[in-house]
Amino acid sequence: MQLFIGGACAGKRDLVAARFPNAAWSRVDEAGLEGRENDMRSGAVQVLIGWTGWLEAALADEPDDDRLRARLVAALDTLRDAERDARGEVVLILPEMGRGIVPMDAADRRLRDLAGWLAQDAAARAEAVWYVRHGLARRL
């Protein structure tokens, strides 16, 4: 699993497209996160984008942050295992929301917190983490 993280319009998608030109791209906010392991094909690269919309919907459906984070961790573990079994590659492109002003609205703070937890949990499972800024990537 590889993780590309950075702010809005930082160049994450362009870098991933250049590094993985034959990858299959899909949006988490359209098809969900659970069941993604079934999308893995032998030796294929699966790029997952669209996290913000999915996180907003997940927060609306689940009032308990700990339960929601546990669900995310389980899904990430399942993706990592499917990646290993298929000898493929999962690439996550995540938004970095923690470097700005803390939102006044409680729902926006919750979204920011969950995005940060997702990034931490994904980074802990990733073989490589890339921070992207101004179209440049640095491996962390």
Total tally of structural domains belonging to the chain: 1
Residue range 94-101: average pLDDT? 82
| pTM to 2 decimal places | 0.89
CATH of the domain at 97: 3.40.50.300
Calpha distance 105→89 (Å, rounded): 37
**Averaged pLDDT for residues 104-128:** 93
- Section 101-125 average pLDDT: 90
